[in-house]
Amino acid sequence: MLRALMVSLVATALIGSLLYYTLKRSDLSQGQQRDAQASQAFQQEAVAVGRAFASFSASALVVDVAKVQEALVGTWRSGHLADTIVIDHGNRVMAASNAGYVGQQIHDPNWTAIRAQNREAVIRDEPMPGQERVTVIEPIQDKGATIAWARLTFVRPMQPDAVRAPQERLEQVGRIMVPVFVFLAAAIGMAMRFATSRLRQHIRSVVAEAMTDADRPSSRDGELSFRDRGARPGGGSRTAA
């Protein structure tokens, strides 16, 4: 019985390890899939806000740039919108959600290439672990001509990859493996008893057969006995007178 318990324990540990690894891989896959969906929705939201802001700025800039600045400082807000600036043709900030940026020059080496495309651009990066940043650049156009550019930066915290904590996975594996261990112990114990019983029966049959063969006289011993009884003391055979 002790041997059956040891075998069951080893088998349960191996199965439990495989199950834990499978659950971990599943959790990671689900977490990555969920975060990818959230990232896609986040980018779509950022593009929609950027297009709406470019449309608003196109009409406001024609009248007065101060209206754009007032909107950025006051009413123009979005849940993940971290920063917004409006840039003119001379790479100067015309309006910004942070008023301290107004009047400054843009020195980003990539800005010239982005502006030359004269179309919507979406840039995604991770400025720090666990954080996603999406920058939307929209040309602000009036009557088909680009009069300025809007650069909106959105930031959101990323979802953790794992759905369940390691402790939760261990508890789930334990709940599953307890009945498995009981079943294995019972099944292996019965199998070992059956194998032992069959082995004993086979040994008994072999021993019984060997004892039967030992008690039975051989044909050669009978032949020698017959010859000994029929032989004369002088070496010849007896004949009738």
Phi, psi for residue 95 in degrees, rounded to 5: -150, 150
Secondary-structure class of domain 2-157 per CATH: alpha beta
Q: Is the pLDDT of residue 117 over 70?
A: yes
Q: What is the pLDDT of residues 181-206, one digit of tens each?
A: 787 777 777 777 777 777 878 787 87
Q: Domain-by-domain residue ranges, the chain?
A: 2-157
Pairwise CA distance, residues 54 & 86, whole Å: 9
Q: Is the pLDDT of residue 241 over 60?
A: no
- Beta carbons within 8 Å of 45's beta carbon, 6+ residues apart: 78, 80, 154
Instruction: State mean pLDDT over 71-75.
Output: 75
CA end-to-end distance (rounded Å), the chain: 80
In the prediction, which pLDDT does 205 show?
A: 81
Are 175 and 44 in contact, with CB atoms under 8 Å apart?
Answer: no
pTM for this entry: 0.60
Confidence of residue 228 (pLDDT cuts 50, 70, 90): low
Q: What is the pLDDT of residues 28-72, one digit of tens each?
A: 777 778 888 888 999 999 999 999 999 888 888 877 888 888 888
Percent of the chain's residues with pLDDT above 90: 20
Confidence of residue 222 (pLDDT cuts 50, 70, 90): low
**Other CB atoms within 10 Å distance of the CB of residue 108:** 12
Mean pLDDT score across all residues of the chain: 80
Confidence of residue 152 (pLDDT cuts 50, 70, 90): very high
In the prediction, which pLDDT does 124 show?
A: 92
| Residues 10-48 as b or e (16 or more Cβ within 10 Å = b) | eebeebbeebbeebeeebeeebeeebeeebeebbebbbe
In the prediction, which pLDDT does 75 show?
A: 65
